[in-house]
Structure 1
Amino acid sequence: MKDKRILFVSSEVVPYLPETELALTAFNAAKNAHSKGVQTRIFMPRFGVINERRHQLHEVIRLSGMNLVVDDMDMPLIIKVASIPKERMQVYFIDNEEYFKRKAVFTDEDDQLFEDNDERAIFFAKGVVETVKKLNWAPDIIHVHGWMASLLPLYLREFYNEEPLFSESKIITSVYSNPFEGTLNEKLADKLKFDLNENDKIATVRIPSHTNILKSAIENSDAIIHGSENISEELTTFIEEKKVPVLSFQEENFKESYLSFYADLVSAK
Structure 2
Amino acid sequence: MKILFVAAEATPLVKVGGLADVIGSLPKALVEIGHDVRVIMPRYGIIDPADFTTSSVIGNLNIAVMRRTERVSLKVTELGSKVKVYLVDSDDFRNSIEVYGKGELERFFLFCRAVLDILPKLGWQPEIVHCHDWHTALIPLWLKRNNCHYASIFTIHNLAYQGFFDGRFLIDADLEKDWQLRPTDMPDPPLNFMSQGILWADLVTTVSETYAKEILTPEYGVGLDRLLRYRQDRLFGVVNGLDYDEYNPATDDFIPAKYDVYTVDKRIDNKRALQKRAGFAENVEVPLIGMVSRLDEQKGLDILTASFDILFQKAEAQMVILGRGREEYHNLLRQAASRYPKQLAVFIDFDDALARLIYAGCDMFLMPSRFEPCGLGQLIAMRYEAIPIVRHTGGLVDTVQDLTQDMSKGNGFVFQGYDSEAMLAAIQRAVNSYTKKAWRNVMRRIMALDFSWQVSARRYESIYRKALEMESL
Q: TM-score of the superposition, structure 2-length normalised?
A: 0.47
Kindly report which structure 2 residues correspond to 1:54-203, keeping only aligned pairs within 5 A, or say none. 54-58=51-55, 60=56, 63-85=58-80, 87-107=81-101, 114=102, 116-158=103-145, 160-161=146-147, 166-167=148-149, 169-177=150-158, 179-180=160-161, 183-184=164-165, 187-193=168-174, 197=177, 199-201=179-181
Quick check: 2:88–2:114 contact (8 Å CA) kept in 1?
Answer: yes
Q: Does 1:44 align with 2:31?
A: no
Q: Displacement, 1:99?
A: 3.9
Q: How has the CA–CA distance of structure 1 residues 264 and 197 changed in structure 2, closer, same or farther, with 3 Å as cutoff?
A: closer
Residues 148 and 137 of structure 1: is their aligned pair in 2 closer, same or farther, counting only changes over 3 Å? same
C-alpha separation between the residues in 1 aligned to 2:231 and 2:162? 25
Separation (CA, whole Å) in 2 of partners of 1:265 and 1:181: 24
Matched residue count: 244
Q: Distance in 2 between matches of 1:237 and 1:29?
A: 30
Structure-2 residue corresponding to 1:20: 17
| Distance (whole Å) between structure 1 residues aligned to residue 160 and residue 107 of structure 2 | 17
The letter for the 1-side match of 2:199 is: E
- Give 1:35 shift: 1.5
Q: Please tell me whether Structure 1 or Structure 2 has the larger radius of gyration of its CA atoms.
A: 2
Opposite residue 144 of structure 1, the aligned amino acid is C
- Aligned match of 1:32 in 29, 32, 39? 29
Pair 237,32 (structure 1): closer, same or farther in 2 beyond 3 Å: farther
Q: Which has the higher contact order (CA 8 A, sep 6+)?
A: 1
Write the distance in 1 (CA, Å) between the matches of 2:63 and 2:176: 15
Aligned to 1:248: 237
In the TM superposition, residue 8 of structure 1 has moved relative to its aligned partner by 0.6
CA apart distance, 1:34: 1.4
Shift of 1:146: 2.2
Query: Which residue in 1 is equivalent to 2:201?
Result: 221
1:9–1:143 CA contact under 8 A, matched in 2: yes
2:399 — aligned with what? none
TM-aligned CA distance change 1:216 to 1:65, over 3 Å: same
d(CA) in 2 for partners of 1:181 and 1:247?
A: 19
Question: In 2, distance between residues paired with 1:239 and 1:199?
Answer: 17
Shift of 1:181: 8.9
Out of 205, 215, 238, the position equivalent to 2:227 is 238
| Contact 2:138–2:193 (8 Å) recurs in 1 | yes
- Asked if the contact 1:250–1:257 (Cα under 8 Å) also holds between the matched residues in 2, the reply is no
1:240 maps to a residue whose letter is R
Secondary structure (helix, strand or coil) at the match of 1:94 reads strand
Amino acid at match of 2:202: D
Shift, 1:100, TM fit: 3.4
Measured after TM superposition, the shift of residue 67 of structure 1 is 0.7
**Alignment match, 2:462:** 260
Amino acid at match of 2:99: V
Q: CA RMSD in A?
A: 2.6
Q: Does the 8 A contact of 1:171 with 1:222 survive in 2? A: yes
1:191 positional shift: 2.7
- Residue 70 of structure 2 aligns to a residue whose secondary structure is strand
* Equivalent position of 2:372 in the other structure: none
CA contact (8 A) 2:77 2:84 kept: yes
2:50 aligned counterpart, secondary structure = helix
Find the aligned partners of 1:178 and 1:129 in 2 and give their Cα distance.
24
Counterpart secondary structure, 2:124: coil
Q: Structure 1 residues 10-19 or 242-251, which shifts more?
A: 242-251
Aligned-residue offset at 1:73: 0.7
| Cα distance between partner residues in 1 of 2:178 and 2:140 | 17
Compute the displacement of 1:151 (Å): 1.4
Name the aligned partner's letter for residue 239 of structure 2: Q
Distance 1:181 1:189, change over 3 A: closer
8 Å Cα contact 2:40-2:85 kept in structure 1: yes
Structure 2 portions without partners, runs of 5+: 183-187, 241-450
Tell me which amino acid in the other structure corresponds to 2:195.
Answer: K
